[in-house]
Structure formats: C-alpha cells, structure tokens
Chains A and B, each alone.
Chain A
C-alpha cells in the first residue's frame, strides 16, 4: 500500500501539472483566440482603428494610464490608481449604505406581515425605475461631485439585496424557529440567533448580485459632473475620440468588479462554514 502511494506521488507532480495546464488552456483558449484574431484583423486594416483600436494599442494606453511612463494616455497618464480609487470609494460608500438598509428593511418585511403589506407595494413600484432615471433628481438634491454618484450606486445595489433578504427570511424553516422557541428564545433571540443565520446564505447571495450592480452603475454615475474615476475616464476619452482608453477603462471596471466579487465570495465561504463542500454533485455518491 505504501509503495503504491509513493509511486502515485512521484508521477503526481507531472500529472498534476499536465492536468492543470489542460484546464487552464480550456479557460483561456476563447479569449486568447479572440484577442489574436482582433489584433491580426486590425493590423491588416480589416477593422478600422477608428471603430475598434487594436488590443496592443489598448494595452499600451492602459499601461501608461497605470504607470505614467510614455504619456500616451495624455492627461490620464499615471492616474489609474487615482481613478480606480475614486470609483472604488463611491462604490463602497453606496454599497455599504445599501447593505445596511436593505438587510434591516428586508428582515422587517420578511418577518412581520404587517410591515410587508405596508411597505412592499411602494418598493415594488420604485424598483423598476432604472437608476439612470434618478440622475436629474440626484443632482438637484445632492448637488455635484461624489454624492449623486453614491446615491445611484446605492439605488442599484439596494433592491437585489432587499429582495434576497426578504426571501431568505421568509423561507426560514418554521421548525427551526419552533426549536429556538422551545429552548426559551424570545422574539429578539429568534431574530438574532435563528432568523439571521438561517437567512444569511440568501442575504449574501443578494449582496453578491448587488456588488455587480454597484460597479455597473459606475459608468452611469460618473457620466455627470465628477472629475475623476474609471467611468469619468471612459466618457472623457469618448469625447476626445480616444477609443483605446474607452476600452481600457471598460477592462479596468471589469477587473475591479471581478476582484470585489472574488473577495465577497471568499468572505461568504468564511462566514458560511456549514456550506463548504456542499453541492449538488456531492449528494450523488
């Protein structure tokens, strides 16, 4: 038995590497092919650079935007960290507000039928209004600069978190509530020690959707009256016909969205240890 295991581990490194390369290849093959084709067609002149700049051009501008080495990005040279930071602050501010308010309101609506009847119709009427439509009011109410942007991010992330929280609270197993009550839990205990943990998977799922929506609104929110940020660079570059920077800022927003989502996913795994390793597949043994 022991020698067999040793053998497996010896050939294991190379086998592992091969397996890992194979799975990496599959993940990467589509985007790489697209990029190569795009580059070739641009160089051949089939794709006009006025319509779609070549990837190498985009990368060049992106690098200068980040590091400020060549000046290709003009006024944005070396500003990436600044821009990413400004956008991130707005997203974090709006998103945090949304999380706190949506979770609290969601628990109240999910738990008390009276609150649901009172508040839900109004919320369902507000929900379909796209955040963009709020821009005029946002500017009138909050003025110019960061505040309207934060408000829009808040609007975008509020509703998914709210809906998922309500669902999470409503679908708590009634027997768990009974079990808690039978052990002496009062209303507050039940909410804090039974409902909240039981609804947490749904709440976090809503939060994950919300964080995506928050980043999506960066572009819209920074369309008006801010002077820094990834969305700002996008619009500014568009006005100056610098489509390579437009794409560079799209890539940046996508990247930051991806990293925040990843961070949230890791947070979820840490906070929901009882769901670790649980999947549909694992029930088929």
Chain B
C-alpha cells in the first residue's frame, strides 16, 4: 500500500456571486511512496497549490479522495506539516517560540521547548537569532524559520508550497542545497510545489507535471540522477528537454470559466 494515494480527485470552485464555476483540478490520480521527494510542477493557475491544500486538509476535494496510510484525509492535522509560500510565522513570537509552537500546544515545558527548538535552529543555520522577532529578519531567514518549524513537528509528510519563490537566486540555491541535505539526513516524505523546472529537477526523486487549468496529471517522471544534481550535465538537460517539450505540446489549453452547472 502506498503512503499517499490521490484517487480521482476533482476540485470545482463555485462563485455564487457571479454564477460561475471554475474547474481547478480534474481526474487527479497518483500515489507516493514513503521517503520520496515529489515535486508538483506546473505553471500559475494549474491547481498545484489547491492540490497541496487538499492534502494538507485545508480544503476538501469536490469528488474523489486522498488517503494517507490507508486513511482518508478529512481535516488539518499534525501528521502533515506545511511550509507556506509566505513564511506565515506568528509575528508576536520570537524565532524560538515560533519553531516550538507545536510543542507548546502539546504542553511541553518551556525548557523542553527551548532545547528542542535549538536543534532545528542550528540545523537551518539560524544560530544566534533565537530571540529575534520575524519582522527583524529577512525573507530568507523567515522561510528558514518556517522550515525549522515544520521539521520540529516531525510529520510523516512535509508539504512545501513554493517556499523559495520569494527568494533571490543566491539564497534560493543555498536553501535548495540545505533542504536536500536535511532530507537526506532525516529521510522524510516531501511534496514540493514549484513552477520552476530547474528547481524540480534539482530537488526531486519524482516529478508530477500538471497541465494548465483544469489541472490534470500530464506525466509522472521518475528521476534517475545522482546527487548533488549537476545542472550542466547531459542527463539533467535531457529531462529538462523532455519537460519543455511537454509544456510546448499543452500550450493553449486553458479552460475558461463556465456557468454553474445544475446537476
């Protein structure tokens, strides 16, 4: 049995006010094994964030179901951690308190929280910033806090929604390296949403390419490359070409909004 199964998932957004509906996702089927690093790749509006939100439990599929370890996902839970596009840290808490928030909910003592948090603060390279507030840190540093927070929670599944999109290329490259290192050391299952082909190829063990709206699974590509990934190597660029061709094929296929269908 696969670790995560997405079965016949569809998502339709209804706009009652305007009387239109939007099909975000259609006929999504795939499964993920434990310890995989899966990248959901697609352009803007293809529904990849929606799909991630449904796996996280923030939204429900219009039809179909998502199963984790055989159990249907119904709501948010501590077994699925998420790193958001915007750091989404609690602005009134220090770096350390933000990271150990999960433990605070569980009722651990302040001392315990501090000790645990320190491990992850060091892991993401933020030693010395424990008492700083989010507004005192740069975007990249805040993202690292978000990642540390997800790691401390130690969920079976880590979801990441374009976490590096707002970073400059230098920080991005650094963070990608860090992430792969952390994943290799701690072996978690990661689902990573991105619109960058390069990023997907650098990070993932498997890429699921989504088409334009309504998002459908275009292709599932298993990546057979050694790490660290060399962006100039032949095999890397072969995969890149494969994906670029795929995108060219699906160029003008966006479906417009339609009137609400009364079934």
Contacts and interface: CB of A to CB of B under 8 A. Distances in A.
A200 B101 contact: no
B102 interface: yes
A278 interface: yes
A127 B58 CA distance: 37
B84 interface: yes
Interface stretch (A78-86, A139-147, A148-156, A179-187): A179-187
Contact of B106 (A178, A184, A193, A198): A184
A173 B84 CA distance: 13
Contacts of A273: 92, 133
Interface in B67-124: 75-78, 80-82, 84, 86, 88-92, 101-102, 104-106
B105 A193 contact: yes
A14 interface: no
Contact of A182 (B76, B106, B135): B76
Contacts of A197: 90, 92
A272 B78 contact: no
Contacts of A184: 77-78, 102, 105-106, 153
B54 to A, nearest CB: 13
A176 interface: yes
B2 to A, nearest CB: 22
A43 interface: no
Contacts of A272: 92
A273 to B, nearest CB: 7
A264 B26 CA distance: 55
Given A183-B102, A194-B90, 20 more contacts: A175-B84, A175-B88, A176-B88, A178-B84, A179-B84, A181-B75, A182-B56, A182-B58, A182-B82, A183-B101, A183-B149, A184-B77, A184-B78, A184-B102, A197-B90, A198-B92, A272-B92, A274-B92, A274-B134, A274-B135
24 contacts: A173-B88, A175-B88, A176-B88, A176-B90, A178-B56, A178-B58, A179-B89, A181-B75, A182-B57, A182-B58, A182-B78, A182-B81, A182-B82, A183-B81, A184-B78, A184-B105, A189-B105, A193-B104, A200-B92, A273-B92, A274-B91, A274-B133, A274-B135, A278-B135
A171 B113 CA distance: 29
Interface string B204-230: 000000000000000000000000000
B174 to A, nearest CB: 24
Interface in A193-243: 193-194, 197-198, 200
Ranked nearest first, the 8 interchain pairs of A and B with the lowest CB-CB distance are A184-B78, A181-B76, A183-B102, A274-B133, A175-B88, A197-B92, A179-B88, A274-B92
Nearest to B91: A274
Nearest to A178: B58
A189 B134 CA distance: 21
Interface residues of A, number: 21
Nearest to B77: A184
Given A175-B86, A193-B104, A274-B133, A182 B91 contact: no
A185 B135 contact: no
Given A198-B92, A272-B92, A183 B135 contact: no
A193 B97 CA distance: 12
Contacts of A173: 88
Contacts of B77: 182, 184
A189 B90 CA distance: 14
Nearest to A196: B92
Interface in A160-185: 173, 175-176, 178-185
B256 to A, nearest CB: 28
Contacts of A175: 84, 86, 88
Nearest to A175: B88
A184 B78 CA distance: 5
Contacts of B76: 178, 181-182
Contact of A183 (B57, B105, B133, B134): B105
B131 to A, nearest CB: 10
Contact of A185 (B57, B84, B105, B134): B105
A106 B133 CA distance: 28
Nearest to A179: B88
Interface in A26-60: none
A193 B56 CA distance: 21
A194 B105 CA distance: 11
Contact of B78 (A183, A194, A198, A200): A183
Nearest to B98: A179
B151 to A, nearest CB: 12
A194 B78 CA distance: 16
Nearest to A181: B76
A144 B88 CA distance: 54
Contacts of B134: 274
Contacts of A200: 92
A280 to B, nearest CB: 14
Contacts of A178: 56, 58, 76, 82, 84, 88
B136 to A, nearest CB: 9
A173 B134 CA distance: 15
